[in-house]
Amino acid sequence: MVNLTIDGKQVTVPKTYTIYEAAREAGIDIPVLCYAKKLLPFGACRVCLVEVEQMKGRLIPSCTTPVTEGMVVTTTSEEIRKVRKTVLEFLLVNHVVECPVCDKGGECELQDLTYEYEVVTNRFVGEKFHYPTDENNPFIERNMNRCVLCGRCVRVCDEIVAHGSYSFVERGFETKIATAFDRGLHCEFCGQCVSLCPVGALLPRPFKFKARPWQLKEVDTVCGYCGNGCTLTLGVKDNQVQTIRFNDKNGVNDGNLCIRGRFGYSYVNSDQRLTRPLVRKGGELVETSWDEALEAVANGLKDSKGAGIITGARLTNEEFFLLKRLADAAGVTSLDHSGGECYKVLTEGVKDVLGLTASTGTFPQVETADVILSIRSDFYETHPVFGMVVNQAVKRHEAKLLVLADKKGKFTKLPNAETLLTRPGLEVDVLNAMCVALLEGGKARTEGVSGIDEFKQAMAEFAPARVAERTGVSAEAIVAAAERLAEAQKGAILLGYGLPYTPASRELGLAAANLALLAGLADQEEAGLYVCGEKANSQGAIDLGVLPKEDGLGAQAMLAAAAEGKLGSLYIIGEDPLTTYPDGDRVEKALANAGFVVVQDLFLSPTAAKADVVLPAASFAEKDGTFTNAERRIQRVRPGITSPGEARTDYAIFGALLEKLGAQAPAGPAEVFGELCAGLADYPQIGLDEIGPQGVVWGGEKLAPKTRNLVAVGGGKSAEGRFLLTTGSSLYHSGSTTTHADGPLAAVPEPYVELGREDAAELGIKDGDSVTVKAGGVDLKLKAKVGARLPKGLLFAPSHFAGTGLNRVFRGEAVVAAEVAKG
């Protein structure tokens, strides 16, 4: 620690602090423009100049100067004020002053400083720039005439997003921020640069002229999309979410968001939302009263042929709790979530080895990991903001990044990244071979680990040399990666998961946990194994046990039973199985042959259109309660708007159904939160309002394994053919909900199939061409996306879009043989 004096106040801070950080901690305000908490010090603007007694004769930038013992700092004096005012005058020399029409008005840092320092005239005269405004993309307006060259956009895009869209070009007075070749912005549109721009040079286009900042009601909540659980702040006016506001004070995402969280909010305002319950009469879905609809659902749940309930994983913990109570009240034992496979089965695999069904560490711990293994390069696509933590680990702290995947992705382009490119469907084989390499090479941590001999015997077929032959990853690379991981002081294995990845879920969970154990990561003080569910509350669904009872059916078994006419009713909540579940033909049969189908959702999805009763539900922006993210962080979800028409929260619907069944509904989410925590040993015993802005991580920052038991696991299954087709997530979409959101749709408006340049050239296919992919007896009509990501012979089609027929091709396989041709 270092002791110093700031404005006469004694301050003690860590020696890594700058003067600015020390002052901030002491509650002393120093103005800044180029400084941003999450970026490395830069020192571009000179607005933060202060006087240091030991450095007399010049003023010192406080944001870049480290504290030293005994330093005496003055942050305000007549001279400092004069110099800051001069700095502002310089900044305003060529800055167009358009405050009346600039969307940043009212929250512009330059405007605020100009006001505070009373810069009413300018002694300097210079030419104003007349750069054309870049409006070539639907997300971000770039008006470089307003830029103050603080470099925050350049740095955030490089240091955190790792996209590197911007640089400073030219010199002196001509300096400006430009994109490659000074063309329009073309990037992943996460909006981080917009969040950090202190002036109106970068603005979110969807919010243009919607409201002045002071007209917005700000509501802190949690993103409703993925298991990253980013906190965000809704900007609400006229009962509509008008924008997402930058807020780096809550949660652990430092205000970082991906395109889905930043620009994917419009679906909550959509006029396509369901607003009244519907019931099928004479073959048509017609509007009805809540009472009639709920009566029908309550009767359906009591069907003598049995009922099944399948829910999505975007309900709050409190809603899951009520749903379980509802299932009990109706005597329904077949209850499951998210297809019943994917994340649930993955955590079952991890549990067999480590006795845990959750990640062992927290996200921020990964920033200082020295070795990271990402299983599937598209981890950045399923959990982008956690991916940004990985970017920082690699770029700032020089972590070694190992990527085990069937295609290249964003991670593979990072410096210090090494990609183990495997034949599709065989990631488990490579993980197994890494375990075998550690055991054979004497590098495995085996203390306290049981089942070693049986494991060694059963895993003989996964010797690295043999695995190399079938996966295409060299034996040397497998051994080196395993050893690197075992040598890590602080290592992390990341496994992002979701519905498109159901095949071999259990095997992947087992294999990753075996490796975490043998490499010694599971027992490290920080980081370890990260199992990350796809949806906002996938972890909550596991924690609360939204699972079938012993005599009940899982989701896939329910669908199979319904398809055979053996299930009286099916109640589907927040899911569109017809679009996203594997084996779409079976789902269709299940919906046709179940005696009675209820769908509770925001939109009339393809699944809802087949239902007997449709209940209009609320979005995340209308809910009160908690989500638990993929690092076990329980965070507050708060309502910013009321639901359209008669739509209700899932919580209110379950409560009303409980009453229909003669049971009592609890008063509100606060009461239920208390009850659910009391029933879960690991959950904190606190009230809903005691959850602070950073949330509460159940089990603490480090979750120690309860067991250390190696479990042998079989390999994966690939396919043979000139082309192999795989499916998964796109960065721009999350499940099918984003296909109702303007932002993600503007980036990726339609389904596509991706193929490598070499294949495309051989087939005469160009980017954007219409192509036919034939696989599993199904013809898929898709747009071609040609790039450098996919190895020769591999095709990839994301799973988000309704009507593509992709889930009729995949019936439980990770990869299928396919043909592709233009037309």
Q: Which residues bind ligand SF4 (CB under 6 A)?
A: 140, 147-153, 156-157, 161, 163, 165, 177, 185, 187-193, 196-199, 201-202, 223, 225-226, 228-230, 257-258, 260-261, 383-385, 734
Q: How far apart are CA 807 and CA 556, in angstroms?
A: 14
Distance of closest approach, residue 110 Cβ to ligand FES, in angstroms: 12
Answer with the entry of ligand FES, ligand SF4, none that 23 interacts with (C-beta below 5 to 8 A by kind): none
Could you give the count of Cα atoms lying within 13 Å of 220 in the half-sphere of its Cβ?
14
Contacts of 130 (CB under 8 A, 6+ apart): 145
Residue 264 structure tokens: 């994917």
Answer yes or no whether residue 390 interacts with ligand FES by CB under 6 A: no
Residue 441 structure tokens: 């090479």
Distance of closest approach, residue 620 Cβ to ligand SF4, in angstroms: 10
Answer yes or no whether residue 33 interacts with ligand FES by CB under 6 A: yes
Candidates 29-37, 222-230, 334-342, 623-631 — which segment interacts with ligand FES by CB under 6 A? 29-37
Specify the DSSP class assigned to residue 709.
B
Answer with the entry of ligand FES, ligand SF4, none that 32 interacts with (C-beta below 5 to 8 A by kind): ligand FES
Bridge-based pairing of strands 752-756 and 794-798 is antiparallel
Candidates 43-51, 204-212, 655-663, 694-702 — which segment interacts with ligand FES by CB under 6 A? 43-51
Alpha helices, H only, 52-177: 78-93, 109-116, 152-155
Bridge-based pairing of strands 778-787 and 770-775 is antiparallel
Positive/negative CA dihedral, 629, 493, 507, 442: negative
Choice from 6, 28, 63, 570 touching ligand FES (CB under 6 A): 63
Answer yes or no whether residue 46 interacts with ligand FES by CB under 6 A: yes
Answer with the entry of ligand SF4, ligand FES, none that 491 interacts with (C-beta below 5 to 8 A by kind): none
Answer yes or no whether residue 48 interacts with ligand FES by CB under 6 A: yes
Distance of closest approach, residue 305 Cβ to ligand SF4, in angstroms: 39
**Residue in the shown chain whose Cβ atom is closest to ligand SF4:** 261
Burial class (CB in 10 A: 0-12, 13-18, 19+), 346: buried
Answer with the entry of ligand SF4, ligand FES, none that 35 interacts with (C-beta below 5 to 8 A by kind): ligand FES
What separation, in Å, do the N-terminal and C-terminal C-alpha atoms of the chain show?
Answer: 68
Answer with the entry of ligand FES, ligand SF4, none that 149 interacts with (C-beta below 5 to 8 A by kind): ligand SF4
Radius of gyration of the chain (CA): 28
Of 46 and 410, the one with the shorter C-beta distance to ligand FES is 46
Answer with the entry of ligand SF4, ligand FES, none that 48 interacts with (C-beta below 5 to 8 A by kind): ligand FES
Answer with the entry of ligand FES, ligand SF4, none that 430 interacts with (C-beta below 5 to 8 A by kind): none
Answer yes or no whether residue 34 interacts with ligand FES by CB under 6 A: yes
| Pairs from 207-212 (Cβ < 8 Å, separation ≥ 24) | 207/103, 207/235, 207/242, 207/243, 208/103, 208/141, 209/103, 210/237, 210/242, 210/243, 211/235, 211/237, 211/242, 211/243, 212/105, 212/106
Residue 269 structure tokens: 């305002």
Yes or no: say if 534 and 498 are a contact pair by the CB < 8 Å rule. Answer: yes
Residue 20 structure tokens: 């600015």
Residue 707 structure tokens: 């067991």
Contacts of 762 (CB under 8 A, 6+ apart): none
Candidates 30-38, 246-254, 634-642, 808-816 — which segment interacts with ligand FES by CB under 6 A? 30-38
Of 230 and 771, the one with the shorter C-beta distance to ligand SF4 is 230
Answer yes or no whether residue 44 interacts with ligand FES by CB under 6 A: yes
Yes or no: say if 365 and 715 are a contact pair by the CB < 8 Å rule. Answer: no
Choice from 6, 11, 23, 32 touching ligand FES (CB under 6 A): 32
Helix, strand, or coil (residue 582): coil
Of 336 and 381, the one with the shorter C-beta distance to ligand SF4 is 381
Positive/negative CA dihedral, 63, 64, 68, 73: negative
Given strand 284-287, what is the order of strands in its sheet? 284-287, 278-281, 613-616, 596-601, 569-573, 307-311, 334-337
Distance of closest approach, residue 231 Cβ to ligand FES, in angstroms: 25
Answer yes or no whether residue 746 interacts with ligand FES by CB under 6 A: no
Answer yes or no whether residue 73 interacts with ligand FES by CB under 6 A: no
Given strand 231-237, what is the order of strands in its sheet? 217-222, 231-237, 240-245
Distance of closest approach, residue 724 Cβ to ligand SF4, in angstroms: 28
Of 410 and 586, the one with the shorter C-beta distance to ligand SF4 is 410
Of 108 and 661, the one with the shorter C-beta distance to ligand SF4 is 108
Answer with the entry of ligand SF4, ligand FES, none that 63 interacts with (C-beta below 5 to 8 A by kind): ligand FES
Answer with the entry of ligand FES, ligand SF4, none that 257 interacts with (C-beta below 5 to 8 A by kind): ligand SF4
Helix axes of 584-593 and 555-563: crossing angle, nearest 10 degrees: 60
Give φ, ψ of 261 to 5 degrees.
-70, -35
Distance of closest approach, residue 193 Cβ to ligand SF4, in angstroms: 3
Of 34 and 417, the one with the shorter C-beta distance to ligand FES is 34
The site that binds ligand FES (CB under 6 A) totals a number of residues, namely 12
Angular region, 371: left φ>0, alpha ψ -120 to 50, beta rest: beta
Distance of closest approach, residue 27 Cβ to ligand FES, in angstroms: 18
Answer with the entry of ligand SF4, ligand FES, none that 314 interacts with (C-beta below 5 to 8 A by kind): none
Candidates 27-35, 265-273, 568-576, 695-703 — which segment interacts with ligand FES by CB under 6 A? 27-35
Distance of closest approach, residue 91 Cβ to ligand FES, in angstroms: 11
Candidates 39-47, 361-369, 448-456, 658-666 — which segment interacts with ligand FES by CB under 6 A? 39-47
Bridge-based pairing of strands 371-375 and 176-179 is unpaired
Bridge-based pairing of strands 176-179 and 60-61 is unpaired
Choice from 45, 236, 438, 617 touching ligand FES (CB under 6 A): 45
Residue 349 structure tokens: 């695999």
Of 187 and 647, the one with the shorter C-beta distance to ligand SF4 is 187
Find where tokens 């167009």 sit. Answer: 96
Answer with the entry of ligand FES, ligand SF4, none that 192 interacts with (C-beta below 5 to 8 A by kind): ligand SF4
Yes or no: say if 387 and 553 are a contact pair by the CB < 8 Å rule. Answer: no
Q: What distance lies between CA 638 and its chain's CA centroid?
A: 19
Choice from 26, 43, 691, 701 touching ligand FES (CB under 6 A): 43
Q: How far apart are CA 78 and CA 358, in angstroms?
A: 57
Choice from 11, 47, 144, 296 touching ligand FES (CB under 6 A): 47
Q: What are the residues binding ligand FES (CB under 6 A)?
A: 32-35, 43-48, 61, 63
